[in-house]
Structure 1
Amino acid sequence: MDAFRLLTRSANFKKAAVPTAEPAARLPSAGTATNPQLFRTAEADELESKHGKKRKRLAVTEDDGAIPADLDFFHTTKRSTAPPTGASTTKDDHTSTTQRDDDSEEEDTMDEVECRTILNSHKIKVTDLRDLSEIQPAVAVAEKEKESKKKKKKSKKDKAPELSKKEQKRARRMFPQPLVSFKELRTRYKISSRLASNVAEQGFTMPTEVQLSSLPLLLGGSAKNSSEPDLLVVAPTGSGKTLSFLIPVINKIVRHHHSGADEHGILSVVVVPTKELASQIVNEGRKLVAGTGVKITLMKKGMRVVESEGATAIEESDASGSEDEEDEEEGSKAKGQNNSPVTKSDILVTTPLQLVNSLSANQTKPVASMPLVRSLVFDEADVLLDPLFREQTLDIWRSCVHPDLRVSLWSATMGSNIEELTRSTIKERLENIGQTSNTLHPLVRLVVGLKDSAVPNIDHRLVYAATEQGKLLGLRQLLHPTAASASDVRLRPPFLIFTQTIPRAVALHSELKYDIPAEAGGSSRIAVLHSDLSDNQRSDIMRDFRKGEIWILVTTDALSRGLDIKGLNGIVNYDIPNSAAIYVHRAGRTGRAGREGGIAVTFYTKEDIPYVKSIANVIDASEKLRGTDGAKSIQKWLLESLPDLSKKDKQELKKHGVKARQLSKQIGGKEGKDKEREEREARKARISTKSGFERRLENKKKGAIAASRDRKAAASGNAVSDDGSWDGLED
């Protein structure tokens, strides 16, 4: 017997190591999420399992007394639970399988009450945005007529019944058949067998809320309308929106190819705001189109997309005027590619500027039309229809002139102005093609959870740091969990750090790159990514970050939207976001696909206090959506005591950010006391831990080096400089 263990059995040494292991198991980087759905209730689970059992009960042999093949371990033929692939089967087997699928579809169809129960339990709201005269709410009109008949007044009987706001909302509500399992894509909606097998190979089994509700609409399974509508989707970040629009688009193209149509060209266009998001969508799309005959392509400079004189390759640099050397080389190569063949791709993924430049010969000619495009997808639609990209996005929209064009807009945040702009654009397009209304293809809005709210499965922390130096100290405490403050915030790599401007991102990177010990990789573990870098540099940094070679990535809002990095443990808002919508997207980089354990830390200083309330409201709504009991991370005074921003202040903040961090750009044109005062403010906003004495030494050293360089240059020529001043005696 071990005497030491016997004497110390009352001191439980091993229990101290248990708490450190539990948080690590809950980190998003620990593994895949067991449940990708954010909202569930016991009633919905019971209904979904009930309909799932019906399918299994029907999938037995004709002899009722026979043992199902799933349970007969001595059965010679092994049954496959995966969606059917392109394997060869006999005609009898095929017809019997089809008949069972049809029977199960009829048996498994939910009534409106069950559909409403499941959709409400998942916090899904589907609304028809057409006019009430087009919707023809027969139920609501009948109820109103019954009430009018009770009143014995002929004048009211003759008038058309008017609906209240509540009845109008009820008449607009839609309850499509929910997608209980991805297996129903093949059995109910008859998608391509190869596409169904590709979905199964990716490991998708349980659909998320946005997939559960949007796929039936886009594949033609609505309760009120069997055709594909124009769709406007607002769903939380990381909820699977990419898969939701790729599956219908690919299936639509596969059907077009099988129909024997002679038309070949771009049939679908996906527009996104950033190149990183475009590359990500192409990578995900290639996994789904494998073996289907559908080709998906990333838009590049010099690529021709239509047979038109105006659709020549890009001959000069980009219209933005801020291209790097590699892009200029690509532009010079593209100069001689005017006769290059048109791309044979079926799906084109692009940013707005690149496609508009290709359609308009670098904006020197009118935008050419794309007559074959039948599906137009706007991912992160609120940014694409923001004033920064609006004209380019609308040009792309107007260039798609096919009568059967269907448009879908996707984002986690979408204001009412986007909805109005969408309706007006669709109406304008219908008038151009000679249609007065679109009763067969309505505009449908789908909202998951609370509109413009952050994901509820991560922790949100607001940390007051007082000054810039306090923020830097707080960030270093996150880098070293053993030195964390009393707030007990733990953030383990990998994670993202967001700043307001590119210079601040560069300065923060230079300040932090030596904080990781050399034994752990040193400065190679920290990198900075922003729009001033070349495409190759940005691609290399993102590749290393996804591979885990880079642990901490300092960036701007260039990476705040759409990127799916499954192993990301958290984000840090070093600078407060310019709006509540930007906070929602920044925080959504972690907690993807229902993963728990992610954290979003936001530092704010004295200058940021007027802008904190909007962020606090988003966090409070997220915690209410989660339904957590106990202490909240947002204090009550943050929601009640802080003043509300005016509309003008919100617009100024959205355009320029916090003014205190923009002073370095404004000092150049000022003189006198104003310049001195703003220089002092700029020094306060500087990201640095160096003292004034250290900075003076560095400046003296730089000055000595520059003077030595000048002396050497003067020694090789005359001792007198160009301005006529004497530079000293020569050696």
Structure 2
Amino acid sequence: MDIFKLLTRSTNIKNAAIASSASTSALPSSGARPNPQLFGNDVGDLYQPKLRGGKRKRGEPAAESSNPISEEPDIFVEKSSRKLGDAISRCQPRSSGVATGEVEGVGSSASNIEILDQEECRRVLRSHKLKITLLSSLEQNNKGRGVKATDIFTSNEKTPTQLFPQPLTSFDQLQSRYKIAGRLLQNIRDQGYDLPTEVQLGSLPLLLESNDAESVEFKKTLKRDDIKGQKTKAQAGIDLLTVAPTGSGKTLSYLIPVLDGLLRERGTQNNSGLDIERGVRAIVIAPTKELANQILNEARKLAVGTGIKATVMRKGMVITKGPDTGGDSNRDCYHSHGLEGGSGDESNSSADDGLEKTRVKGRKKYGGQLVKAQVLISTPLMLLHAVTGDDNDSISTFDLVRYLVLDEADVLLDPLFRSQTLGIWGACRNPHLRVSLWSATMGSSIEALAQSVILNRRQSLGLPATKLIRLVVGLKDSAIPNISHRLIYAANEQGKLLAFRQLLHPTASSDSGPSLRPPFLVFTQTIPRAVALHSELLYDIPAEAGGSSRIAVLHSDLSESQRGCIMSRFREGEIWVLIATDLLARGIDFRGVNGVVNYDVPNSSAAYIHRVGRTGRAGRDGGVAVTLYTKEDIPYIKSVANIIAASGKLGESYGGRGDQQKWLLDVLPTPTKNDKKRLKRHGVEERRASMAMKDAKTARKMRISTRSGFDRRIEHNRNGAVRGRRQSTKHRVDQHSLHSADHSESEWDGFDD
């Protein structure tokens, strides 16, 4: 008999107890969910569609013919008029030099090919909250002139066309429907991927269908003897702009099509008997080294046994080979126009990015390691330095690169990285270049900039406009709905430290709500504040539990090896509390993180979304996001409260978790545009190091410490006395050594009488 249930039979305590037990039993650190999808989990028989053309059962109503939304011919939707036999013949494995053997359980028979009509596609995509839009190309409206960002939404088509492609309901369909290599599919299975997430369900059909169409066009090009760099009229590919929640599997969504496209290209070349130049074929740009190394690990896992190599750009590595280094540069490495007196195009340049693309002058010998991988992952500045000429103005061109991926595209196109990213983008002169942009947050200005750069680039190269498709998962620019959010008012810095210690050591008198259990991340505004918080909490964990080894701090002032060691220890569970700056706020995948603490308020709404996205990865429930704010943060906190409210409305299937209280939204002041701009650029002014140095009173108020002023004064005097003794001792030693040197160098005058 449950005594607690019996005693609380007529009270409301049992509901809170059940809720608390449910929240503690399901934690991100307890393991992966069998279903990583955030939406559409309650859909009944959507994944068992009936093949068209089958015999209708007695009593079953006849299926109504659905008229497509767009009458424009579309390769992304299986039309109802297309015969099942055509679809089956299209899904037969291709014959090429690539290993295309069927994986066990995956065949090419009609029983394994699920073809949905438009109505069923629309139902599945909407149940998973997927919105796929074909943005207007502006080819006719802007012919002969540059495209401005303000022209993006002023085309003839006021309402963009919405697409409903065939959803990918299982990774087994990758071979039966899209004919990917059997080895690549086996690598996907070996990593434990079975059910696609929302972003994979919507993006993989678009990109893989584009690869198939480009492969067919490339074969036609080879038959016409149009080889190596010739511009073809048909441009079958697409450019994709994806906005999906954090932890939804975006890395896998762009790596699979890139590897599949490279394998198709290699198989086509082997069958044709041609040996087209080898070198860097795909570039993935990430804002931080940590994210670049993480992408590299995933790429290497997927490329096992395929013959495709991936590497990350490091100091000393070079992409091009100079004219006097010896060897065949066309075969051994990536070769760009202008290095050996080639006919690099100097006149083509983008109208908006302001970067001149000129021919690189002949370089001297390189002493660095040569890049021979097909997939190159790098930060923008590192890659730009590797391809910039000796005069630091000329940029060599990436004539062979066919895939350009911008991970965390909103940061890469932000003013901080914009010139570097556009420089690399403009250097990709391949007419078959396919660009994809991925992020959890994407402002309208960044989206308009990306679209204008794509259109201007194709106009400068004399190419027809490509199809630009936008994929949005869930509610745009919102936090994931499967975590709980808390806002805690702490009044001042001492209150924040006390509130954080209560989170670290919860008691019976603590505020009710979801508990925060390690491991978890703590974000601060600046590096000095992260170091100070780490010093203050260094001995809060008892020695029996590991002591100070369980708490660590990570920031950009540490070396790359130190940062890598700390991240490895955190992933292995040796570190329970990791204090960091926004260096770890984007893209880093810590799958077992149970919570995130915003010790300092994030500097933008996007920063909050990415910070709290470090928990609740791959649909894991039980994550907690706690934000501490003081009276200095009140003018800026409403943006965070609005995101929490939107996340609660989006997560109705999770019981409305994270829904912010209405009275708080009414009381908090609305920040102005200047306030948001100032916060994004500098953070909270009082917590900046420059402000603390100017005003001693502000420095005392913003200090992260629980020691009294008397104790700090005593320690300061003690440290000053120690420094004084060391300086005096060093001065005496120097004087003694100087006197000894003078005495030894003096001439001997003989013995005294």
TM (normalized to structure 2)? 0.76
Q: Does structure 1 conserve the Cα–Cα contact (< 8 Å) formed by 2:483 and 2:657?
A: no
In structure 2, the CA distance between the partners of 1:309 and 1:545, relative to structure 1 (3 Å rule), is farther
Q: Does structure 1 conserve the Cα–Cα contact (< 8 Å) formed by 2:441 and 2:606?
A: yes
| Superposed counterparts of 1:597-612, under 5 Å | 597-612=622-637
Q: Does 1:579 align with 2:579?
A: no
| Superposed counterparts of 1:2-401, under 5 Å | 22-40=22-40, 42=42, 44-50=43-49, 101=108, 103-104=110-111, 108-131=114-137, 168=157, 172-220=161-209, 227-260=236-269, 261-308=275-322, 338-340=366-368, 342-361=370-389, 364-401=392-429
In structure 1, the residue corresponding to 2:435 is in which secondary structure?
Answer: strand
In structure 2, the CA distance between the partners of 1:52 and 1:712, relative to structure 1 (3 Å rule), is farther
In structure 2, the CA distance between the partners of 1:630 and 1:253, relative to structure 1 (3 Å rule), is closer
- CA shift, 1:481, in A, is 2.2
- CA shift, 1:654, in A, is 0.2
| Superposed counterparts of 1:506-545, under 5 Å | 506-545=531-570
Q: Does structure 2 conserve the Cα–Cα contact (< 8 Å) formed by 1:496 and 1:570?
A: yes
Q: Distance in 1 between matches of 2:469 and 2:4?
A: 68
- CA shift, 1:165, in A, is 11
Q: Does structure 2 conserve the Cα–Cα contact (< 8 Å) formed by 1:310 and 1:366?
A: no
Q: Does 1:659 align with 2:662?
A: no
Q: Does structure 2 conserve the Cα–Cα contact (< 8 Å) formed by 1:462 and 1:601?
A: yes
- CA shift, 1:49, in A, is 2.5
Q: Deviation digits for residues 510-568 of structure 1, max 9, x if unmatched?
A: 00111011111111111000001110110111111111111111000000000111111
Q: Does structure 2 conserve the Cα–Cα contact (< 8 Å) formed by 1:297 and 1:348?
A: yes
Q: Distance in 2 between matches of 1:694 and 1:483?
A: 32
- CA shift, 1:485, in A, is 1.5
Aligned to 1:468: 493
Q: Does structure 2 conserve the Cα–Cα contact (< 8 Å) formed by 1:478 and 1:489?
A: no
In structure 2, the CA distance between the partners of 1:362 and 1:24, relative to structure 1 (3 Å rule), is farther
In structure 2, the CA distance between the partners of 1:21 and 1:264, relative to structure 1 (3 Å rule), is same
Question: For residue 126 of structure 1, what is the amino acid of its counterpart?
Answer: I
Q: Deviation digits for residues 180-210 of structure 1, max 9, x if unmatched?
A: 1100001000001100111111111110100
In structure 2, the CA distance between the partners of 1:699 and 1:131, relative to structure 1 (3 Å rule), is same
Q: Distance in 2 between matches of 1:551 and 1:39?
A: 31
- CA shift, 1:715, in A, is 3.6
In structure 2, the CA distance between the partners of 1:454 and 1:10, relative to structure 1 (3 Å rule), is closer
Q: Deviation digits for residues 664-700 of structure 1, max 9, x if unmatched?
A: 31455xxxxxx5xx21122101100000110011011
Q: Does structure 2 conserve the Cα–Cα contact (< 8 Å) formed by 1:178 and 1:216?
A: yes
In structure 2, the residue corresponding to 1:259 is in which secondary structure?
Answer: helix
In structure 2, the CA distance between the partners of 1:639 and 1:103, relative to structure 1 (3 Å rule), is same
Question: For residue 414 of structure 1, what is the amino acid of its counterpart?
Answer: M
Q: Distance in 1 between matches of 2:636 and 2:671?
A: 7
Q: Distance in 1 between matches of 2:718 and 2:243?
A: 56
Aligned to 1:614: 639
In structure 2, the residue corresponding to 1:443 is in which secondary structure?
Answer: strand
Looking at secondary structure, tell me which structure has more helix per residue: 1
- CA shift, 1:304, in A, is 1.1
Q: Distance in 2 between matches of 1:348 and 1:9?
A: 60
Aligned to 2:87: none
Structure 2 alignment gaps of length 5 or more: 9-13, 55-91, 142-152, 217-235, 270-274, 334-362, 737-753
**Alpha-carbon RMSD:** 3.7
In structure 2, the CA distance between the partners of 1:171 and 1:534, relative to structure 1 (3 Å rule), is closer
Structure 1 alignment gaps of length 5 or more: 56-82, 136-163, 314-334, 669-674, 720-731
Q: Does 1:424 align with 2:452?
A: yes
Q: Does structure 2 conserve the Cα–Cα contact (< 8 Å) formed by 1:356 and 1:363?
A: no
- CA shift, 1:338, in A, is 1.1
Question: For residue 40 of structure 1, what is the amino acid of its counterpart?
Answer: G
Q: Does structure 2 conserve the Cα–Cα contact (< 8 Å) formed by 1:230 and 1:408?
A: yes
- CA shift, 1:22, in A, is 4.7
Q: Does structure 1 conserve the Cα–Cα contact (< 8 Å) formed by 2:178 and 2:212?
A: no
In structure 2, the CA distance between the partners of 1:277 and 1:239, relative to structure 1 (3 Å rule), is same
Question: For residue 603 of structure 1, what is the amino acid of its counterpart?
Answer: L
- CA shift, 1:572, in A, is 0.2
In structure 2, the residue corresponding to 1:608 is in which secondary structure?
Answer: coil
Q: Percent identity?
A: 53
- CA shift, 1:20, in A, is 7.8
Match of 2:519 among 483, 494, 504: 494
Q: Does 1:479 align with 2:478?
A: no
Paired positions, count: 616
Aligned to 1:60: none
In structure 2, the CA distance between the partners of 1:132 and 1:177, relative to structure 1 (3 Å rule), is farther
Q: Distance in 1 between matches of 2:448 and 2:7?
A: 68
Aligned to 1:138: none
Q: Deviation digits for residues 243-262 of structure 1, max 9, x if unmatched?
A: 00000000111111112242
Q: Distance in 2 between matches of 1:603 and 1:217?
A: 42
Aligned to 2:478: 453
Question: For residue 378 of structure 1, what is the amino acid of its counterpart?
Answer: L
In structure 1, the residue corresponding to 2:635 is in which secondary structure?
Answer: helix
Q: Does 1:696 align with 2:713?
A: yes
Q: Distance in 1 between matches of 2:302 and 2:412?
A: 25
Aligned to 1:161: none
Q: Does structure 1 conserve the Cα–Cα contact (< 8 Å) formed by 2:313 and 2:382?
A: yes
Question: For residue 200 of structure 2, what is the amino acid of its counterpart?
Answer: Q
Q: Does structure 2 conserve the Cα–Cα contact (< 8 Å) formed by 1:176 and 1:213?
A: yes
Aligned to 2:743: none
Q: Does structure 2 conserve the Cα–Cα contact (< 8 Å) formed by 1:85 and 1:196?
A: no
Q: Distance in 1 between matches of 2:259 and 2:554?
A: 33
Q: Distance in 2 between matches of 1:516 and 1:362?
A: 53
- CA shift, 1:224, in A, is 12
Q: Distance in 2 between matches of 1:54 and 1:549?
A: 58
Question: For residue 671 of structure 2, what is the amino acid of its counterpart?
Answer: L
- CA shift, 1:238, in A, is 0.3
- CA shift, 1:498, in A, is 0.1
In structure 2, the residue corresponding to 1:239 is in which secondary structure?
Answer: coil
Q: Distance in 2 between matches of 1:581 and 1:595?
A: 21
Q: Does structure 1 conserve the Cα–Cα contact (< 8 Å) formed by 2:646 and 2:659?
A: no
Deviates more, 1:296-305 or 1:230-239: 296-305
Q: Does structure 1 conserve the Cα–Cα contact (< 8 Å) formed by 2:597 and 2:625?
A: yes
Match of 1:412 among 440, 444, 448: 440
In structure 2, the residue corresponding to 1:696 is in which secondary structure?
Answer: helix
Q: Distance in 1 between matches of 2:185 and 2:710?
A: 67
In structure 2, the CA distance between the partners of 1:120 and 1:667, relative to structure 1 (3 Å rule), is closer
Deviates more, 1:202-211 or 1:32-41: 32-41
Question: For residue 475 of structure 1, what is the amino acid of its counterpart?
Answer: F
- CA shift, 1:171, in A, is 5.4
Q: Does structure 1 conserve the Cα–Cα contact (< 8 Å) formed by 2:51 and 2:115?
A: no
Q: Does 1:637 align with 2:636?
A: no
Q: Distance in 1 between matches of 2:657 and 2:199?
A: 30
Match of 1:683 among 700, 704, 726: 700
